[in-house]
Structure 1
Amino acid sequence: MPKGLMITLTLLTLTFICACNENLPLDNNESQASSNNSELILNPKSNSIWSNKVIYQIWVRSFYDSDNDGNGDILGIIEKLDYIRSLGVDAIWLSPIFASPSYHGYDVEDFYKINPQYGTLDDLKNLLNKSHSYGIKVILDIPINHVSEHHPWFQKALNNDKKYSDYFVWSNKPPSNAGTAWGNDIDPYKVWHKKNSRPDYYYGVFGWTQPDLNFKNPDVLNDILKVLNYWVDIGIDGIRFDAVRYLIEDDSVSGRSDTKSNLNLWSKIRHSLKSNNQNILLIGEAYTNLDNASKYYLDGSGFDMVFDFEFRHQVESILSDYASLYSSKRVSRSIHVNAIKDSLWNIFDKRISTNIPHDYFNVFLNNHDLDRFSTSVEMHPLKQKIAASIMLSMPVSNTIYYGEEIGLGQYRNGFDLYRRAPMQWSMDINSGFSNSEYLWVDNSDWFYWDTSFLPWWKSYTSNNRQIDTINVNSQTLKDESLLNHYKSLIALKRNNETFNSPESIKRIDTTSNIFCLKYTKGDEVLFLVLNLSHDREEVLDSGAISRNSFTNLLNRRLITIDKNIKLDKGEFMVLKRTSS
């Protein structure tokens, strides 16, 4: 290859990969060079019962309303357990279900009480029993970085109770270098707040309604451990922890997150919970790059898993339109295609070529804090299928956010409310979510700070014709639907050890926009073949895979490779040689 062209290709690949991280809201300024590895040998798994499992995240208030009061509830989840089982997932993760003054529940006012809008403790126990009978584990989201301003601990602190004052962080005046824990901004009054009942300021990184707990006080840790172990004793199978980087912060700007004291704290929490139940899952939201998130593994004394926030943004970028990068006549389509495939291979390489178990990372496309992935790819079903194929073929654990499997959209981007809207079950009233005429999403009392808030749900559902096809009932009946694609992928991940957890992964070069991998475990070999083009067929040249007869494990169809074969738009095949 001419030296000039080689330099052009290298720069283009680096440019593409950097561009794929351009909008990543993470504190990672390092560019990611394309991997030179053509084969990856996977580190041993953690031997956890949670290794490479699929978790289904449920926003409880929006999943299914069993009593038609406009709010989803625990009994609604029980009613839909047959659907959840049909997906094939291993666990469900519930958004916070504790007593709270907010719609989201991340500001808890009583850790021992179920929010009555969701149900009762007996309802939760029934959910646990039925889920377990289906082989489905249950994860609770228990936010402990802060509490509600209405929590008894904080109310006592406001009244200058000596014991509970030290449960929170106070200062006579805000430190001059203070700012949000996830940035380098200087804005003391954004995180330090004041009440009329006390002259000093309290720290609340998520706002004045959510005072941070003081985990430097051993009594706080002891009381929180009592809370956590109470729910472990009730029979839950895992805990999702919010904002894990910020429980103990230092006074410096650089000490707002990931401090040594914070890491040590999580080790203590793990020790307590694992002593109670060694199989309890501890999964953390460390909203940062992979290098920082890896710190919380702590040589096996930290989290079992952390959410991989880089993955969503990288896949989103790969599927976005980067035509402007390739407008130069010097840049051919083949170079563009190779840059895309290099970037995708880099996603695999970075998560596998680490010194920690590869199943530590949980990859996802959606969650309650991000705009729906569907909206970032123009609601295009094939792009969503391609993304699902990438995500569920990675040999790590996955999380699917309710509605993702049907391509659920949202009313407007940039607002948490619309990311958490009701599930669309059918073409009935309120998309089958509830028979109530008034849903929680239209209740302005939940959004008192927004003086311009107007009800929107009925207008959205009546004017959005995509709802006719973006619902569970419609897609269940259509073989080629996004829902059935998810089901096929999850079933294969659950039932085939080589697909779920290969010993090695080899990249196979192709001349088209087809991404091809060879998964090997023992004597079994699988070829994963994905057409990355959503708008055109692509040809897999016969030299990429040895000529033979194969079974596509996703649909059990027989395929004979004796010449070039065509893959339909966005098509994904998992090929296994047929027995001779």
Structure 2
Amino acid sequence: MNRKTLSLLSVLPLLFSCTSTGGGFYEFDEAVTNENGSAYYEIFVRSFYDTDDNGLGDLKGVEEKLSYLQNLGIAGIWLMPIHPSDSYHKYDVKDYRDIDPEYGTLADFDSLIESANDHDIDIIIDLVINHSSSNHPWFIAAQQQKRDNACSAADSKCNYYNWSDSPKTGYARSDTANAYYEARFSSSMPDMNLDNDYVVDEFEAIVDFWLERGVKGFRLDAVTSFYTGNSTKNVQFLTNFQNYVKSKNPDAFVIGEAWENLNNVFYQYASSGMNFFNFPMSELNYGGTAKSVQTMYGINFARTLVNSEVQLKQVSSVAKNALIISNHDMDRSAGYLLGDQGKIAASAYLLSPGYPFMYYGEEIGLKGSRGGAMTDANRRLPMIWSSTDDEGMCDNPPGADYDTQYQITNGAYDNLEIENSLTNHYKKVLNVRNKYGIIHDGLYNYTDTGNDAIAMFTITKGSETIYLVHNFSNVAQTFDLG
């Protein structure tokens, strides 16, 4: 029996292969790049980097920070909605084929795509299919046609939406139309009628538009709400959408937001062939990552991750897991992962199969929670780049009231100068991931070492095998290898 001891407070994983005589803590490999990586980085453009000193982040700001992201080891960027909108978050889209003037122009977007390609970084964009803005030309015309009883034509805009002549749960009133329209999220976000072939044609044309501009894929918002209460129709729509995108670009990446339990996500939605965020693994109260870190229960993380992989592969041979520890709809992880817990969590989820997604600022410990005002704006606060230079600093989103005394002071560039900073830890872990492609698409099995603090994986792909070991505690642990 071999004995392996994890060093005190070590938060980097232990790696070794089946042919090695011993293992060791990973050393940073300068020769490794992001070129073959698979980790994504979610950006709320408004809060990322401001290049024209108006307090709002912009696409030029994202382009300016591509070298930082490449150096960090990022292989892809998910841009939250960038289309013209009346809200600060831009999930109410007024024009699916343009850029919100606050963020720039289509020319700025084209420049970003070109630069991202030069940095080996893929760009995917948020595509909001479930609803449009109430100020979208489609809905403005729809209300007028509904009022004038002009809905008989198959391509009538009023048939782009769902209507009722009487009040219904989940519907809002249009005084213009003298009728009620489905709007499950907000009266400013009327739900689309996705049974209408003309609506489907519209979104397929929108997909074409952005793929032709160099977008590498899409993140689909609120996919379980496309047909409220009807997961069968949701899955069928997603299957058709996935097939259409792949027919245009077989390498395109599509991922969906499905806030559902694991069985629903993997046994139903993953049958579409799409990738999905693994929210049950990611949420604080019952998620496999944060809960395992907080309780120092590594075996729970290992067991939960492998079980989710088994479930997924029973349904789809192509869909992959996507782990997170926070995003724009969740309290930031730095608020509840304390001390080295943030590093342990980063090692665990960034070295998981599939496509892990970081949330901007996560790598510097940026904080933010809904707070007393119960506003998501507090979860989308400005990125901090330097403690001594405010250049590029963005203003808070409207409604944000997070107490600055609890916010971090060091920015990304400060942390890169500190050897053991959280930022450099993320950089090292992503270096591991980018060096060993088997971490992305290998077959994971876990070993119960008899020590509950240890998460040990055997990862295989063809003739290649590596062993990955995490210590979820804050003290040295000893474990046995058979």
TM-score (norm 1): 0.70
| Number of residue pairs matched by the alignment | 430
Residue 9 of structure 1 aligns with which residue? none
Per-residue Cα deviation, 1:96-123 (whole angstroms, up to 9, x for no partner): 0000000011100111121011000010
Kept in 2, the 8 Å contact 1:468–1:474? The answer is: no
Q: Secondary structure at the match of 1:61?
A: helix
Question: What are structure 2's unaligned runs of at least 5 residues?
Answer: 1-34
**More relative contact order, 1 or 2 (CA 8 Å, 6+ apart):** 2
Residue 395 of structure 1 aligns with which residue? 353
Question: What one-letter code is carried by the residue in structure 1 that aligns with 2:418?
Answer: K
Per-residue Cα deviation, 1:200-259 (whole angstroms, up to 9, x for no partner): 11110111010001111111111121112111111100111001112234xxxxxx241x
Query: Cα gap change, 1:475/1:52 in structure 2, threshold over 3 Å: closer, same or farther?
Result: closer
Q: Does 1:357 align with 2:325?
A: no
Kept in 2, the 8 Å contact 1:381–1:407? The answer is: no
1:360 and 1:511 map into 2 onto residues whose CA distance is 29
| Aligned Cα root-mean-square deviation (Å) | 2.3
Question: What are structure 1's unaligned runs of at least 5 residues?
Answer: 1-49, 176-187, 250-255, 322-336, 448-454, 547-580
Deviation at 1:512, TM superposition (A): 6.4
Residue 124 of structure 1 aligns with which residue? 109
Residue 316 of structure 1 aligns with which residue? 290
Kept in 2, the 8 Å contact 1:411–1:418? The answer is: yes
Deviation at 1:344, TM superposition (A): 1.7
Q: Does 1:100 align with 2:70?
A: no
Residue 478 of structure 2 aligns with which residue? 540
Residue 346 of structure 1 aligns with which residue? 303
Residue in structure 1 matching 2:159, options 159, 163, 166: 166
Query: Cα gap change, 1:199/1:512 in structure 2, threshold over 3 Å: closer, same or farther?
Result: closer
Q: Secondary structure at the match of 1:397?
A: coil
Q: Secondary structure at the match of 2:322?
A: strand
Question: What one-letter code is carried by the residue in structure 2 that aligns with 1:505?
Answer: N
Kept in 2, the 8 Å contact 1:52–1:395? The answer is: no
2:465 and 2:246 map into 1 onto residues whose CA distance is 37
Deviation at 1:504, TM superposition (A): 4.8
Per-residue Cα deviation, 1:379-418 (whole angstroms, up to 9, x for no partner): x130111111110222221100101111111165343101
Question: What one-letter code is carried by the residue in structure 1 that aligns with 2:409?
Answer: D
Kept in 2, the 8 Å contact 1:52–1:396? The answer is: no
Aligned ranges 1:389-468 → 2 under 5 Å: 389-410=347-368, 412-413=370-371, 414-428=374-388, 430=390, 432-434=391-393, 439-441=395-397, 443=398, 456=401, 460-461=403-404, 463-464=405-406, 467-468=408-409
Residue in structure 2 matching 1:297, options 270, 288, 292: 270
1:493 and 1:173 map into 2 onto residues whose CA distance is 55
2:161 and 2:113 map into 1 onto residues whose CA distance is 34
1:384 and 1:57 map into 2 onto residues whose CA distance is 18
Residue 193 of structure 2 aligns with which residue? 214
Deviation at 1:172, TM superposition (A): 1.1
Deviation at 1:530, TM superposition (A): 2.2
Q: Does 1:367 align with 2:341?
A: no
Query: Cα gap change, 1:271/1:519 in structure 2, threshold over 3 Å: closer, same or farther?
Result: closer
2:476 and 2:363 map into 1 onto residues whose CA distance is 25
1:523 and 1:280 map into 2 onto residues whose CA distance is 28
2:258 and 2:115 map into 1 onto residues whose CA distance is 31
TM-score (norm 2): 0.84
Query: Cα gap change, 1:219/1:540 in structure 2, threshold over 3 Å: closer, same or farther?
Result: same
2:192 and 2:465 map into 1 onto residues whose CA distance is 51
Kept in 1, the 8 Å contact 2:303–2:446? The answer is: no
Q: Secondary structure at the match of 1:517?
A: strand
Per-residue Cα deviation, 1:160-190 (whole angstroms, up to 9, x for no partner): 2531111111111134xxxxxxxxxxxx2xx
Query: Cα gap change, 1:524/1:222 in structure 2, threshold over 3 Å: closer, same or farther?
Result: closer
1:266 and 1:371 map into 2 onto residues whose CA distance is 28
Per-residue Cα deviation, 1:131-181 (whole angstroms, up to 9, x for no partner): 011111000101011000100111111112531111111111134xxxxxx
Bigger mean CA offset, 275-284 vs 505-514: 505-514
